[in-house]
Amino acid sequence: MKIAATYDNGNIFQHFGKTEFFKVYEVEDNKVISSEVISSNGTGHGALAGLLADQGISVLICGGIGGGAQSALAEAGIELCSGAQGDADTAVDAYLKGELVSTGVNCDHHHHEDGHSCGSHENGHSCGGHEDGHSCGGCGGGCGSQPSITGPNVGKTCRTHYRGTFNDGTQFDSSYDRGEPLEFICGAGQMIKGFDAAVANMEVGQVVDVHLMPEEAYGMPNPDAIFTLEIEQLPGAEDLTVGQQVYLSNQYGQPFPVKVNAKDEKTITFDANHEMAGKELNFRIELVEVK
């Protein structure tokens, strides 16, 4: 089975008809065995269902979608799960676990343009597993479409080594330490915008140093993504500790990662912002291969 998700910078893109990329997941025995990002090639609302059908897609996970597009998907025999948000991989995992609930037709052509407010779903939160969760892909305060990136490497598979540091010189990530270059499709939204833009114009063997402001990386923190709940409303919350990262689920039953900011006898405060939100980042990037 193949599942497709509207895709932008690691997240579920929120307007089906304007999506530039889909992430396609190959599933066997209810587990993802492989994935790839494909381009919509500028295809509009009407033809996207045909594009997905040609790819053998059985299920589409997306954000907002109109009635016409939903009908076209139904005619193509594609199951629709709309209203999803946040990290695409997490949404697919939730679907496979039976935890992703579709909201049906929900697109008014302004849907989610300014991002999501986590603070409005208080009664819908329930505590997920207490394991460490990976971070939401970096939509920051708003999950709209990213500006198009141009350059000779856009659309090509690039392999890069990199070292990432904060302004004080502290290293937060390095492909050199792992001994394996990072592979991604340039311009497909798999990387943060500033990293993608730098690689788009590089030549194989070139090394560049880039300094990224938050807007080019994981965005600025969204104050609406910090919210406080009554502990008695959230089963399991009494066992959580400050600094712990867990999954909550919204009113649709969709999981999203949060960090425990504060806790007292009666309330607990969560932060759904990306851990890198608001930070300036520095990268030394080496382009190893383009194919």
21 is a catalytic site residue: no
Tell whether the torsion through CA atoms of 102, 106, 109 and 111 is positive or negative.
Answer: negative
Q: State the catalytic residue, choosing from 7, 16, 218, 256.
A: 218
- Based on the residue annotation, tell me whether 162 is a catalytic residue of this protein: yes
Catalytic residue among 57, 192, 268, 285: 192
SS (H, E, C) the chain: CEEEEEEECCEECCEHHHCCEEEEEEEECCEEEEEEEEECCCCCHHHHHHHHHHCCCCEEECCECCHHHHHHHHHCCCEEECCCCCEHHHHHHHHHCCCCCCCCCCCCCCCCCCCCCHHHHHHHCEECCCCCCCCCCCCCCCCCCCCCCCCCCCCCEEEEEEEEECCCCCEEEEHHHHCCCEEEECCCCCCCHHHHHHHHCCCCCCEEEEEECHHHCCCCCCHHHEEEEEHHHCCCHHHCCCCCEEEEECCCCCEEEEEEEEECCCEEEEECCCCCCCCCEEEEEEEEEEC
Asked about 270 being catalytic, the answer comes back as no
**Active site annotation includes 166:** no
Q: Are 82 and 100 in contact (CB under 8 A)?
A: no
Catalytic-role residue among 166, 172, 176, 209: 172
- Asked if 92 and 26 count as a contact pair (C-beta separation under 8 A), the reply is no
Find the catalytic residue in 25, 95, 162, 283: 162
Catalytic residue among 227, 256, 270, 283: 227
| Strand pairing report for 79-81 and 59-61 | parallel
Residue 227 a catalytic site member: yes
184 is catalytic: no
Pair type for strands 59-61 and 2-8: parallel
Active site residues: 162, 172-173, 192, 218, 227
